[in-house]
Amino acid sequence: MAAIDGLPPLRAVIAAHDLVAKKQLGQNFLLDLNLTARIARAAGDLSGCDVLEVGPGPGGLTRGLLAEGARRVLAVEKDARCLPALAEIAAAYPGRLEVMQGDALALDVAAHLVPPIKIVANLPYNVGTELLIRWLTPAHWPPFWDSLTLMFQKEVAERIVAKPGPKAYGRLALLSQWRADPKIVLTLPPEAFTPAPKVHSAVVHFRRLDAPRFAADEAVLGRVTAMAFNQRRKMLRSSLKALAPDIEVRLRAAGIEPTARAEEISLEGFCALAREVAAT
Ligand code: SAM
């Protein structure tokens, strides 16, 4: 039976184009168009927006984005085998889907998009965190994008939204929450994908902030949090000793007990400390 957009069901697309999933490309496909439409809706109102999609594969999420009204989708796919399937979608939505073949880590796509821009992707797990960090640390802020709606392994999603505590909290949470307002909007069991991965997944929506949540120099904040979390079990007066000879004074000036550990310190606390460290 044809789907709502008149295109064949995804299982038929995959069979017709012989898209046997390749593990090294992180290929776990979503075949349920109701689900891909839900993910597209999690990105908010798409009408009037350009959408960058990384890793469209056979195009399940791409179809969701177009059916949900995206003005235009630019889809970047590394696997050339997917191009004929994506061309069929482009033909069903004239002028609204552009496909670029290549490695999203190597291509500079911002110039091909017209604001407002949303990034929506069921990311290949092996490149997902790297792309996220790049999108959160551009040369200039605000970045080219307005929001990110991204699928991660659930464990990574939990690290992104984590608050201070012993397990998930770390540099990824601090960077994500300094620049944006990340929220888990959907969790998915392995069976939602074909082939099924070993772990659960989750979609995180990031609304970017116009300015960082708390003032701090990005490089200093990065240095402080890297040193603090590289030795997360140690007291900060010891893990940060190399930052400044009077680190205990600076920790206290930032409102932090020198005997505290990294996982106890809020984003606001780390930003205050970065300001104290920068004020030399
Ligand atoms: N979006 C599709 C879906 O939801 O069914 C496919 C998702 S699959 C998890 C990840 C996709 O990213 C695959 O199609 C894979 O070929 C593609 N991919 C992997 N590495 C990539 C890279 N560096 N740049 C662009 N695409 C990549």
DSSP string, 93-107: STTTEEEEES-TTT-
Q: Give the whole-angstrom CA distance, residue 181 versus residue 149.
A: 12
Return all residues near 21 (Cβ < 8 A) that are at least 6 apart: 27, 28, 29, 194, 195
For residues 109-129, give the mean pLDDT. Answer: 92
DSSP one-letter string for 173-239? HHHHHHHEEEEEEEEE-GGGEES--SS-EEEEEEEEPSS-SS---HHHHHHHHHHHHHTTTSBHHHH
- Give yes or no for a contact between 269 and 214, defined as CB atoms under 8 angstroms apart: no
Closest C-alpha residue for ligand 1 atom 18: 55
In this predicted structure, the answer to whether residue 61 has a pLDDT above a threshold of 80 is: yes
Residue 100 pLDDT grade (very low, low, confident, very high; cuts 50, 70, 90): very high
27-39 mean pLDDT:
97
β partners of residue 122: 151
pLDDT at residue 4, as a whole number: 72
Detail the DSSP E strand segments found in the chain: 29-30, 50-54, 72-77, 97-101, 117-122, 147-153, 180-188, 193-194, 201-208
pLDDT at 83: 98
Question: Of 1 and 53, which is predicted with more confidence?
Answer: 53
What 3-state DSSP class applies to 146?
coil
Residue 62 CA: nearest ligand 1 atom is: 1
Q: 81 CA distance to ligand 1 centroid (A)?
A: 12
Percentage of the chain surpassing pLDDT 70? Answer: 99
Q: Is 28 annotated as a binding residue?
A: yes
Question: Is 230 labelled as part of a ligand binding site?
Answer: no
Q: How confident is the model at residue 1 (pLDDT cuts 50, 70, 90)?
A: low
Nearest CA to ligand 1 atom 21: 78
In order of their start, the domains of the chain are: 2-208 (3.40.50.150), 218-278 (1.10.8.100)
Radius of gyration of the chain (CA): 21
Query: For 249-273, how does the pLDDT look when each residue is reduced to its tens digit (9 = 90+)?
Result: 999 999 999 999 999 999 999 999 9
Q: Is the pLDDT of residue 10 over 80?
A: yes
Residue type, 27: Q
Residue 109 dihedral angles phi and psi, to the nearest 5°: -105, -10
Q: Ligand 1, residues 54, 81, 201: which to mutate, most atoms within 8 A of Cβ?
A: 54
Percent of the chain at pLDDT > 90 equals 94
Please give the average per-residue pLDDT across 43-54, as a whole number. Answer: 97
Q: Mean pLDDT, to the nearest integer, of 58-63?
A: 98
**CA separation for the pair 165, 168 (Å, rounded):** 7
Q: What is the pTM of this model?
A: 0.96
| ipTM of the complex in this document | 0.99
How far, in Å, is the centroid of ligand 1 from the Cα of 94? Answer: 23
Ligand 1 center to 33 CA (angstroms): 17
Nearest to 45, CA basis, from 109, 120, 98? 120
Which of 24, 46, 215 lies closest to 120, judged by CA? 46
User: How far apart are the C-alpha atoms of 102 and 231, rounded to whole Å?
Assistant: 38
Least confident of 51-65, 76-90, 122-136, 203-217: 122-136
> Ligand 1 pocket by C-beta < 6 Å: which residues?
25-30, 54-57, 60-61, 76-79, 82, 103-105, 122, 124, 127
So what's the pLDDT on residue 159? 98
**pLDDT tens digits for 222-251?**
999 999 999 999 999 999 999 999 999 999
User: Is residue 118 a contact partner of residue 144, using CB atoms and an 8 Å limit?
Assistant: no
pLDDT at position 2 is 58
For residue range 134-173, what is the model confidence (pLDDT) as tens digits?
Answer: 999 999 999 999 999 999 999 999 999 999 998 899 999 9
CA angle 61, 62, 67 (to 5 degrees): 95
* CA pair distance 17, 48, nearest whole angstrom: 32
Identify which of 11, 53, 78, 123 to mutate to test ligand 1's pocket (most ligand atoms within 8 A of the CB): 78
Residue 74 pLDDT level (bands cut at 50, 70, 90):
very high
Q: Ligand 1 center to residue 91 CA distance, Å?
A: 21
Mean pLDDT of the chain: 96
